[in-house]
Amino acid sequence: QVQLQESGPGLVKPSQTLSLTCTVSGGSISSGGYYWSWIRQHPGKGLEWIGYIYYSGSTYYNPSLKSRVTISVDTSKNQFSLKLSSVTAADTAVYYCARLAAAGTWDYWGQGTLVTVSS
């Protein structure tokens, strides 16, 4: 059973960079066939896809966030990471990591981590 777990600071100051890591267990990122994703959910709101990465390092980002987002992968640790720069209060959200299957749907999700942007 694949499991994903987000980790990182729960509080980030405005203008700084939000950094989160997702650790995958029960399956290898390097095995291929899946894209490793970040999705966020603003408080009480819907879901917003941020971007995803393949084990080879190929990335795809939401155009609305592309200028501020970097997703990277560390296959040796079976982890992938999110960096979101120049954050504002509008970036306060629950951030999920998830596995994107080739079919185009997210089949495994982490539990989510709340990141608050505040001074």
Where along the sequence are the contacts to other proteins (CB under 8 A)?
A: 45-49, 60-64, 96, 98, 103-107, 109-112
C-beta closer to other proteins: residue 100 or 117? 100
C-beta closer to other proteins: residue 16 or 62? 62
**What's the CA gap between 92 and 11, in Å, rounded?**
9
C-beta closer to other proteins: residue 28 or 64? 64
C-beta closer to other proteins: residue 50 or 87? 50
Task: Say whether 28 sits in a helix, a strand or coil.
Answer: coil
Residue 49, φ and ψ in degrees, nearest 5: -75, 130
Beta strands in 1-119 (DSSP E): 3-7, 11-12, 18-25, 34-41, 47-53, 59-61, 69-74, 79-84, 93-101, 106-109, 113-117
Residue 75's closest CA among 7, 28, 115, 108?
A: 28
Smallest separation (angstroms) from other proteins to the CB of 81: 19
Smallest separation (angstroms) from other proteins to the CB of 34: 13
Smallest separation (angstroms) from other proteins to the CB of 85: 19
Smallest separation (angstroms) from other proteins to the CB of 62: 4
